């Protein structure tokens, strides 16, 4: 991964500069400074990114709260500057690049999360207070975002297809909904960089269904990855034909669900779909067909739950048969996407599990029934 550099605008640059002290040690230099007037800042950022001086921008949410005689208080927030720069990118005046929003959790809750209109401007939202806990992980995310944008720019110049840009495994291509390809193939010009990046992040990497994380791969195979010493070896075999290698994969490991399904059908001989099997049946087949060893079957969240696992609980990451769970509401979901689910325990007591999403309205009557039974 080539050397990259970020610019960070913060109305308290000295305080913020001490927050991610480990980031530069991980190979991501960050230049911190106080924001200037909107007109001056807009012009300087335009020139800097046109000249490729920086590879990305980090903005404090509230740029308008602190000032001194030498660095006067500015009269705008992060979203205003981000919107201006995104417009310039869409007009091909400057290249597309990652913009990260960071602030304290209290400010994010108070100002950002209620401002839905500004959410599409940022590629990543970070609570700056937790960065010192794992600066290496944050540095990796910054690197992946920068590299991903550059990869997208190269592909868009050549008008590459979604299959090429996303590096979809051959076995997964035939299983994906045609509408998936139509959605991503509409991004065909260099000025579409941010829109393409945003869609990959929100619809694929952080979205439900098409790409899944390691916990979900394990759940679908019926494996308890924490108790199975042979899990890493099995995952390595699966990854050869199903891991995601498209933009941003360096920081967020994911696997193509269609690739996983294809892998099972190719490698395992069974007369029924593996999702119809109990976890211990899947483990038995993995051991007999692949000579896989040291695999332990995953246990259900609750004694009366099925072990025909198809996903994981969105709140706890524990293996779950979606028929035992409740679908999470997805506003603006595409028809080719899947769903996130939470266990009955989470749906009944969301605050206990720090779950702040809504249950799909179509599930509410079933949830009410469980509430009456448990009261």
Identify whether 1 is part of a domain: no
- What are the residues whose beta carbons fall under 8 Å from the beta carbon of 248, sequence distance 6 or more? 144, 145, 148, 197, 200, 201, 205
Q: Are residues 292 and 311 in the same domain?
A: no
How does pLDDT run across 269-315, given as a tens digit for each residue?
A: 888 999 999 999 999 999 999 988 899 999 999 888 999 999 999 99
- Band the pLDDT of 176: cuts 50, 70, 90: very high
Inside any domain, residue 307 = yes
CB proximity list for 276: less than 8 A, separation 6 or greater: 308
Asked if 183 contacts 337 with a C-beta cutoff of 8 angstroms, the reply is no
**Whole-number pLDDT of residue 295:** 97
Boundary (domain end) residue, out of 298, 332, 353? 298
Dihedral pair phi/psi, residue 246, rounded to 5°:
-80, -170
CA distance 83 to 119: 11
**Those residues with Cβ within 8 angstroms of residue 319's Cβ, 6 or more apart along the chain or in another chain:** 215, 218, 219, 222, 224, 279, 298, 299, 300, 301, 307, 309, 312
Phi, psi (5° rounding) for residue 197? -60, -45
Q: Which residue has the tokens 């990796």?
A: 140
**Do 284 and 323 lie in a common domain?**
no
Q: Do 137 and 83 sit in the same domain of this protein?
A: yes
Question: Does 175 fall in a domain?
Answer: yes
What is the tens place of the pLDDT at every residue in 132-156?
888 899 999 999 999 999 999 999 9
Looking at the fold, whether 77 and 210 belong to one and the same domain comes out as no
pLDDT for 292 equals 87
**Residue spans of alpha helices (H) in 201-304:** 214-221, 231-242, 257-267, 279-290
Mean pLDDT, to the nearest integer, of 11-29? Answer: 70
Q: Based on the domain organization, do 202 and 290 belong to the same domain? A: yes
* 286 and 347 assigned to the same domain: no
Cβ contact 336:199 at 8 Å: no
Let me know whether 163 and 266 are in one domain. yes
Assign residue 36 the CATH number of its domain.
3.40.50.2300
- Specify if 165 maps to a domain: yes
Q: Are residues 169 and 129 in the same domain?
A: no
Residue 296, SS3 per DSSP: coil
Number of domains in the chain: 3
Q: Over the stretch 328-357, which tens digit does the pLDDT of each residue have?
A: 999 999 999 999 999 999 999 999 999 999
User: Whole-model pTM?
Assistant: 0.92
Structure-block tokens of residue 273: 């779909």
Residues 280 and 331 in one domain: no
Same domain, 41 and 168: no
pLDDT: which is higher, 18 or 311: 311
Q: How confident is the model at residue 73 (pLDDT cuts 50, 70, 90)?
A: confident
Q: How much of the chain, in percent, has pLDDT values that exceed 90?
A: 73
Tell me what pLDDT residue 1 has. Answer: 45
Q: 46 φ, ψ to 5°?
A: -60, -45
Which of 239, 267, 298 is the last residue before a domain boundary?
A: 298
The stretch 55-73 carries a mean pLDDT of 82
- Last residue in a domain, options 154, 183, 199: 154
pLDDT at 241 over 80: yes
What are the structure tokens assigned to 195, written together?
């829109």
Q: Within a domain: residue 354? A: yes
Is 197 in contact with 149 (CB distance < 8 Å)?
yes
Question: Is the residue at 93 inside a domain?
Answer: yes
Span 82-87, average pLDDT: 96
Residue 91 is assigned to a structural domain of this protein: yes
Give the domain extent around 348.
300-375
CA 6 – CA 142 distance, rounded (Å): 8
In terms of domains, do 222 and 356 share one? no
Look at residue 365 and tell me whether its pLDDT is greater than 60. Answer: yes
Q: Are residues 98 and 215 in the same domain?
A: no
Q: What angle do CA 115, 110, 116 make, to 5 degrees?
A: 15
pLDDT of residue 180: 97
| Closest listed residue to residue 152, CA positions, set 81, 201, 117, 210 | 201
- Provide the pairing of β-strand 30-33 with 99-103: unpaired
């Amino acid at each position: 991964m080539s050397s990259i550099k970020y610019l960070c605008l913060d109305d308290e640059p000295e305080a913020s500069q001490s927050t991610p002290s480990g980031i530069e040690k991980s190979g991501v230099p960050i230049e911190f400074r106080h924001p200037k007037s909107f007109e001056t800042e807009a012009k300087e950022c335009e020139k800097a990114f046109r000249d490729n001086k920086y590879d990305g921008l980090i903005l404090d949410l509230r740029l308008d709260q602190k000032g001194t005689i030498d660095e006067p208080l500015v009269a705008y927030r992060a979203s205003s500057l981000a919107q201006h720069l995104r417009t310039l990118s869409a007009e091909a005046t400057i290249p597309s690049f990652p913009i990260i929003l960071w602030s304290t959790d209290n400010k994010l809750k108070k100002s950002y999360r209620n401002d839905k209109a500004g959410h599409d401007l940022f590629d990543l939202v970070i609570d700056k207070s937790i960065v010192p806990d794992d600066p290496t992980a944050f540095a990796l995310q910054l690197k992946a975002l920068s590299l991903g944008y550059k990869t997208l720019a190269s592909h868009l110049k050549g008008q590459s297809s979604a299959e090429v840009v996303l590096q979809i495994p051959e076995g997964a291509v035939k299983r994906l909904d045609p509408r998936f390809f139509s959605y991503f193939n509409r991004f065909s010009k260099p000025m579409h960089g941010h829109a393409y990046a945003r869609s990959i992040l929100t619809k694929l990497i952080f979205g439900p269904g098409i790409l899944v994380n390691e916990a979900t791969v394990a759940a679908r195979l019926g494996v308890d990855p924490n108790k199975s010493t042979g899990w890493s070896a099995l995952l390595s075999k699966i990854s050869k034909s199903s891991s995601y290698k498209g933009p941003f994969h360096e920081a967020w490991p994911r696997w193509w669900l269609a690739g996983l399904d294809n892998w099972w059908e190719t490698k395992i001989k069974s007369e029924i779909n593996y999702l119809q099997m109990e976890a211990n049946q899947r483990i038995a087949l993995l051991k007999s067909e692949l000579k896989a060893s040291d695999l332990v079957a995953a246990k259900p969240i609750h004694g009366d739950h099925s072990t025909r696992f198809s996903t994981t609980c969105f709140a706890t990451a524990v293996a779950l048969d979606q028929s035992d769970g409740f679908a999470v509401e997805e506003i603006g979901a595409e028809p080719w996407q899947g769903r996130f689910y939470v266990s009955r325990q989470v749906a009944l007591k969301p605050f206990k599990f720090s779950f702040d999403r809504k249950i799909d309205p179509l599930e509410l009557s079933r949830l009410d029934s469980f509430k009456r039974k448990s009261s």
